[in-house]
């Protein structure tokens, strides 16, 4: 599936989750509900996919885990560190597009940042 179409489905699914739950819950609650929404739409994904860390051409056993293909937050507001974190994930995984989604906002469209690698 084209990355833009997948992005639109993910955003629509996140908006539906936020519409049903509102702000104020833990990341894990939004994560599970978003996984359900994506599954209902027939989108295949891996949750918390292991991502190795490559340092000077050495693959380290310890790696990061990504939230779906999205980075989910429940924070007051995005900081430069959150954006840098997603950019690092995109570079490590060689992904073209990432979505940073903050569910701790009153209107979800104000909590979404698209980051391009």
Residues 89/66, Cβ–Cβ less than 8 Å: yes
CA distances from 67 to 64, 72, 113 (A): 10, 7, 15
The 10s digit of each residue's pLDDT in 32-89 is: 999 999 999 999 887 877 777 778 888 776 655 554 579 999 999 999 999 999 998 8
Report the share of the chain in percent with pLDDT over 90. 65
Domain locations in the chain as residue ranges: 3-116
SS3 string, the chain, reads CCHHHHHHHHHHHHHHHHHHHCCCCCHHHHHHHHHHHHHHCCCCCCCCEEEEEEECCEEEEEEEEEECCEEEECCCCCCHHHHHHHHHHHHHHCCCEEEEEECCCCCHHHHEEEEEC
pLDDT at res. 62: 61
Would you say 23 and 106 are in contact if contact means Cβ atoms under 8 Å apart?
A: yes
Give the pTM: 0.84
pLDDT of residue 1: 73
């Amino acid at each position: 599936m084209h990355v833009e179409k997948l992005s639109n489905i993910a955003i629509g699914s996140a908006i539906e989750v936020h519409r049903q739950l509102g702000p104020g819950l833990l990341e894990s609650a939004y994560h599970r509900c978003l996984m359900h929404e994506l599954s209902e739409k027939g989108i295949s994904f891996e949750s918390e996919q292991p991502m190795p860390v490559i340092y000077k051409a050495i693959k380290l056993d310890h790696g990061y885990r990504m939230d779906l293909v999205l980075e989910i937050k429940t924070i007051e507001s995005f900081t430069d560190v959150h954006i840098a974190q997603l950019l690092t994930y995109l570079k490590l995984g060689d992904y073209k597009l990432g979505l940073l989604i903050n569910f701790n906002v009153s209107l979800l469209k104000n909590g979404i940042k698209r980051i391009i690698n």
